[in-house]
Amino acid sequence: MPEYTQIGDARLYLQDNRRMIKEVPDHSVDLIFTDPPYNIAKYSTGNIDLPNRTPLNNDIAQWDNIEVDPQEYLDDFMRVLAPKGNIFIFTTYSSIGKWHAVFDSHFDTTQFMIWHKTNPTPNIFKKGFLNSCEMLICFWNKGHQWNFSDQKHMHNYIEAPICMGPERLKDPKHPAQKPIEVLKHIIRIASNPGDLVFDPFMGVASTAIAALKLHRKFCGCEIDPLYYRAGVERVKAFYTNNL
């Protein structure tokens, strides 16, 4: 039996998601919203030193070296997703094609969207673009419903700063922690209050906090015990502070 913690409407699993997902009932998830490793460590050319800043390096963490194969997730994502459910996956230029190649033919529609970071790391050498955009790929079937308020709301980008200040966990620091505002924007569009949001690569449970703030239920999974415990503490603190 996998280890999990139930806190209010959130259930957090400590396990390899490829095993954990087998426990998730068929068609029980309204929104799969996840952030798998981008596997960019292999493009690292070592530290890029910056004056008065932490050096830049694509080798962000050991977990990023473990190759994610979308094919391993296709059958289970399709099995657990509700017939009118949605999938949103954070990705990058080197992985978006892999997700598209495996998932596209199984869904009615594929689109992408951009999170434009308003405060990216500066590029003092001016020899390339700022790394100011992160991509998401999304999939859905006919009959899905999205909660757009107007045409402006329907642009496929969002602008928001990277995680900073009190929101940014210090111990453990997660190099890929996503900002709650970005997550809430997508959860609000692609699900309804009372729906179940599932994040199988949950890190420090940012998706859980965003989902709970919007009165959705949450189920997530993380393989690293340090991140898992930090996620559990974050969800507990959310309930304590919101009572």
Ligand X SMILES: C[S@@+](CC[C@H](N)C(=O)[O-])C[C@H]1O[C@@H](n2cnc3c(N)ncnc32)[C@H](O)[C@@H]1O
74-77 own/partner pairs: CB under 8 Å, 24+ apart = 74/102, 74/103, 74/106, 76/18, 76/21, 76/22, 76/24, 77/32, 77/103
C-beta of residue 4 within 8 angstroms of C-beta of residue 12: yes
Of 105 and 118, which has the nearer Cβ to ligand X? 118
Of 176 and 189, which has the nearer Cβ to ligand X? 176
Min dist. Cβ of residue 185 to ligand X (A)? 14
Of 141 and 161, which has the nearer Cβ to ligand X? 161
Of 56 and 141, which has the nearer Cβ to ligand X? 56
CA angle 166, 167, 168 (to 5 degrees): 90
Min dist. Cβ of residue 52 to ligand X (A)? 26
Min dist. Cβ of residue 43 to ligand X (A)? 16
d(CA 168, CA 162): 9
Alpha helices in 192-243 (DSSP H): 206-213, 225-242
Min dist. Cβ of residue 35 to ligand X (A)? 4
Binding site residues, ligand X, CB under 6 A: 16-18, 35-37, 63, 66, 174, 176-178, 201, 203-204, 206, 221-224, 227
